[in-house]
Amino acid sequence: MENSAIDQVRASEFASESTYLNTSTCGLLPRRAVEAVMKLAGESALGVRGGVGSFDSVDAARAGFARLAGVPAARVAVGGSVAAHVGLVAASLPSGAEVLAPTGEFSSVVSPFAARGDLKMRYVPLTELADAVRPGTALVAFSAVQSADGRVADLDAVRAAAAAHGARTMLDASQSAGWLPLDAGAYDYTVTGGYKFLMCPRGSSFLTVTEEAQEALPTLFANWAAAEDRWGSTYGPVEKLAADARRFDEPVAFLAYHGAEQSLGLLAEVGVEAVHVRATRLAARFREGLASLGHAAVPGTSAIVAVPGLGGKEPDLAAAGVMVSARAGNLRAALHLYNTEADVDRALEVLSG
């Protein structure tokens, strides 16, 4: 029996009552995160703490994500949603600027730009994204891993093309951070929802900004929590916002961040590289099994497996206790550190009828 750190964590921290292959929708919360949220909720109900949460946990979660993303904590802002982070980036662009994105990109990555009405939106197939960057492209906005089908972008090619044409890059790591190693410093901006492969409670989200790009972002969310001196800035206009990326913080939901601190600590213990090996190995097993059943999955080495045209099977799988999702007509399964070969085989068994 394998006695890896992942197996130890899986045994001690997770107790799913289903065959859970749906992390692309929402990750399972580890036991330690649930306990942290329940502790804070209980204290708030009893009135035994002077408030509803601790900035120590917020800053610990910030530092935990920074370690995972390979950047200093000073480059990380926290908030509640990817859409809000993207909206901040969208607000920084001048009227008429061109934003390039993949066709079929997740709505939160492109809608804040499109909703402005005065930006030039251009969409191309994911495989053509790097070649489509041109002089005059202001920003390339794209996901590392596509939500609909799990395809992984050619990250090196897109970065090189953007650099060659002076375009900034905004990477959404919501479907990749936690299983695919992330070098956030290689992009002007990254946005990451915490509630998928990071296994944080919903309401936790992270924005990374290079030091140069910080100068371009407006401080739309100016608030006392984003001040250099938080507790000295609770009344009247904030006199001095934080000197680093914390000045872009949104007021956060403390319950989510008390849990996020624990979830990100767990990932640090296991290591994203180890998760990558496990998740992609299981995904490969699933693709091979699907092929043996006559179902061709989207090719690749992603931890997310999508089968075109099979989305209608999602209710049957759910009825059998196998949790997956249906997206854009695809049956979508996502493998993570808490999954095993038995999970994959159970899903294949149900699909075989």
User: What pLDDT was estimated at residue 49?
Assistant: 73
| Architecture of the domain whose range is 55-269 | 3-Layer(aba) Sandwich (3.40)
Q: Round to whole Å and give the CA distance between 237 and 250.
A: 16
Q: Mean of the pLDDT values across residues 194-201? A: 98
Helices (H), 77-232: 82-91, 107-114, 129-132, 155-165, 211-214
Q: Does residue 131 have a pLDDT over 80?
A: yes
pLDDT-derived band at 1, boundaries 50, 70, 90: very low
Are the beta carbons of 17 and 330 closer than 8 angstroms? no
User: What pLDDT was estimated at residue 5?
Assistant: 85
Share of the chain above pLDDT 90, in %: 95
Q: Round to whole Å and give the CA distance between 271 and 204.
A: 20
Q: Mean of the pLDDT values across residues 329-352? A: 98
Q: Give 142's strand partners.
A: 171
- In terms of C-beta density within 10 A (0-12 exposed, 13-18 middle, 19 or more buried), how is residue 9 classed? buried
CATH 3.40.640.10 residue ranges for the chain: 55-269
Q: Does residue 3 have a pLDDT over 70?
A: no
Q: Give 168's strand partners.
A: 139
User: What pLDDT was estimated at residue 50?
Assistant: 66
pLDDT-derived band at 16, boundaries 50, 70, 90: confident
Q: Mean of the pLDDT values across residues 18-47? A: 96
pTM of the model: 0.96
User: What pLDDT was estimated at residue 189?
Assistant: 98
Q: Mean of the pLDDT values across residues 24-53? A: 92
> How does pLDDT run across 258-285, given as a tens digit for each residue?
999 999 999 999 999 999 999 999 999 9
- In terms of C-beta density within 10 A (0-12 exposed, 13-18 middle, 19 or more buried), how is residue 237 classed? exposed
Q: How many other C-beta atoms lie within 10 A of the C-beta of residue 49?
A: 12
Q: Does residue 71 have a pLDDT over 70?
A: yes
Matching residue, tokens 């695919």? 180
User: What pLDDT was estimated at residue 205?
Assistant: 98
Could you tell me the CATH superfamily of domain 5-29+271-352? Aspartate Aminotransferase, domain 1 (3.90.1150.10)
β-strands 322-323, 19-20 pairing:
parallel
Q: Does residue 2 have a pLDDT over 50?
A: no
> How does pLDDT run across 147-178, given as a tens digit for each residue?
999 999 999 999 999 999 999 999 999 999 99
Share of the chain above pLDDT 70, in %: 99
CATH 3.90.1150.10 residue ranges for the chain: 5-29+271-352
Helix then strand then coil, in percent of the chain rounded to 5, is 45, 15, 40
pLDDT-derived band at 51, boundaries 50, 70, 90: low
User: What pLDDT was estimated at residue 134?
Assistant: 98
Are the beta carbons of 306 and 21 closer than 8 angstroms? no
> How does pLDDT run across 235-262, given as a tens digit for each residue?
999 999 999 999 999 999 999 999 999 9
Q: Mean of the pLDDT values across residues 188-197? A: 98
Are the beta carbons of 221 and 88 closer than 8 angstroms? yes
